[in-house]
Amino acid sequence: MTSRFFSFTGGTSGQWVVKSIRPVVGETLEPAERLSIVQGESPAGDMAGASASWRLRGITSNERYINASEKVNLVAEQSGLGRPEATCGALIPIRKSAKWWTLSQDERRAIFEERSHHLQIGMRFLPAIARRLHHCRDLSEHEPFDFLTWFDYAPEHAGAFEDLVMKLRETEEWKYVDREVDVRVVRAG
Amino acid sequence: MTSRFFSFTGGTSGQWVVKSIRPVVGETLEPAERLSIVQGESPAGDMAGASASWRLRGITSNERYINASEKVNLVAEQSGLGRPEATCGALIPIRKSAKWWTLSQDERRAIFEERSHHLQIGMRFLPAIARRLHHCRDLSEHEPFDFLTWFDYAPEHAGAFEDLVMKLRETEEWKYVDREVDVRVVRAG
């Protein structure tokens, strides 16, 4: 069975060279030279030990907002992570406010799609930009973020990626984001 | 901050005397004399040790299906757990099938409420029966159940409680339940 669990470790080892770590809202993450991405649960001692600046954990899960017809379109358009040409990566951890989490399902869906067009914006950048969403909020009650999104894309789509994150940050949904860090990486040569 | 994390331990200690442990679908849980309910994360070694038959963990989270008007009604009608007269309890852990989890949000909502009337059925038994839902599926990928629901009620509402669980088990939603155990307890005198 393929593991749903992923850990992202910022430190001195890993397949990805860190180019920048930038706080968008709230507290940043400590500097790191490399980013290591590991699939599967592993003992805490298994991380790069003293050399790690931080470690974020997340689990892939069922979709929370998209409807059946949107899912058909998404599945048809999206590409998988790890394409040889996708040498640029971005890890964007976000946390949403308590106010977001007390909204009802229909209120969150309305903000997410009907008013912020989160999915519709993301769809415009397919298949160039691949992504995987990891949930953290229900892993424990001490997680520093609610979601980790990992993206990869070819260098020629770097401008499109900036456009994507800029458009999402302008939405009503993003008013509920109270912590966001933007970690950019390139694949180690 | 009030903890969202709860553990339910079946063993030889705890505030609740186990009356029955019955498999409804799939594998049962081991016999136990007592049920202990602890709020907050605690080291694994902190459980009743060798005397524990099983330990289930869950975390309360945001609602996944109810809409804003349903939430207003629910909040107005529901009662809190732990009323002095609520000396009967039930712990009902369930797991849903892979098929359920691959449905889109609108498909799951339609099954949950428009076709199974899960919330509407539950509302009929308020405020007599109090409940708290705990999510387990995204705590790790090795959890034996997806949800734990804990109920308490006064002995005079025991018949109503049987009626509630029977009605839910007849719904279309329950066709997606592939493991369910029904643990009944009474408060230790």
How close B161 comes to chain A (CA, Å)? 27
Q: Which two tokens stand for residue B74?
A: 């629910």
pLDDT at A46 over 60: no
Q: Are the beta carbons of A102 and B137 separated by less than 8 Å?
A: no
Q: Give chain A's largest Cα–Cα span.
A: 47
Cα–Cα dist A85/B69, whole Å: 49
pLDDT at A45 over 60: no
How close B156 comes to chain A (CA, Å)? 33
According to the model, what pLDDT value does residue B43 have?
60
CB contacts < 8 A (A, B):
73
Selected for mutation to probe chain B from A105, A112, A142 (highest B CB count within 10 Å) is A105
Are the CB atoms for A75 and A24 separated by under 8 Å? no
According to the model, what pLDDT value does residue A9 have?
96
pTM (2 decimals)? 0.94
According to the model, what pLDDT value does residue A51 have?
76
pLDDT band at B49 (very low <50, low <70, confident <90, very high): low
- Give residue-wise pLDDT tens across range B133-180: 999 999 999 999 999 999 999 999 999 999 999 999 999 999 999 999
- Here the ipTM equals 0.91
Are the CB atoms for A184 and A92 separated by under 8 Å? no
Q: Which residues lie across from A93 on neighbouring strands?
A: A148
Among candidate residues A137, A138, A38, the one with its CA nearest the CA of residue A97 = A137
Interface of B with A in 74-133 (CB under 8 A): 101-109
End-to-end CA distance of chain B: 31
Selected for mutation to probe chain B from A4, A57, A62, A72 (highest B CB count within 10 Å) is A62
Rounded to 10 degrees, the C-alpha dihedral A108/A109/A111/A114 comes to: -170
